[in-house]
Amino acid sequence: MTNKEILIVCRSTPYGSSNAKEALDLVLAAATFDQSVTLLFSGDGCYQLIGKHQSERIHSKSMERMMSALPVYGVDNIYIDALSLKKRAINPELINASAQAIDTDTIKSLYESATTVLHF
């Protein structure tokens, strides 16, 4: 199998739809097959990385807990769009430490270097 550089862009809120969970399922599947995966959170996807989720209060599986499995699967390239945070008045200190805030130029280069880009 040819190795791909997969960029997965999470643009949805964690519990408003099933998009966030489907993205994560794909990340874990791709990583299992030793594909190179980069994860970018932008737009409403930034909300996925805020604080400590008490998702049992809305009878949902914790997206935050599922995300904590990523390093085990060797997914270390996790980024978040600094501009999206600013637009949403999200204090960067609230964001999960595993994600690195990056600017527009860096995001552009992520899109350019990927062989496959998937939006969720």
Partner 1 sequence: MPTATLHTLNKPESHAELNEELARVISPDDALLLLEDGVYQALRLDVTESKDWSALCEHVYILEDDLHARGLKPPSNPNSTVISYLEFVKLCVQYDKIVSWY
Q: Which of 13, 77, 98, 106 binds partner 1 (CB under 8 A)?
A: 13
Question: 36-41 and 5-10 as β-strands: parallel, antiparallel, unpaired?
Answer: parallel
Which residues ranging from 48 to 77 are in contact with partner 1 (CB under 8 A)? 50-58, 60, 64
From the list 38, 2, 1, 46, the residue with the least C-alpha distance to 20 is 46
Instruction: Write phi, then psi, for 34 (nearest 5 degrees).
Output: 55, 30
* Sequence-separated (6 or more) residues with CB below 8 Å from residue 22: 120
- Min dist CB 116 to partner 1, Å, is 25
The interface region with partner 1, picked from 32-40, 66-74, 83-91, 107-115 by CB under 8 A, is 83-91
**120 touches 9 (CB < 8 A):** yes
- Nearer to partner 1 by Cβ, of 17 and 116: the residue is 17
- Nearer to partner 1 by Cβ, of 16 and 74: the residue is 16
Query: What's the DSSP call for residue 94?
Result: G
- Nearer to partner 1 by Cβ, of 90 and 110: the residue is 90
Query: What's the DSSP call for residue 45?
Result: G
Q: Which residues here bind partner 1, judged by CB under 8 A?
A: 13-16, 43-44, 47, 50-58, 60, 64, 88-90, 94
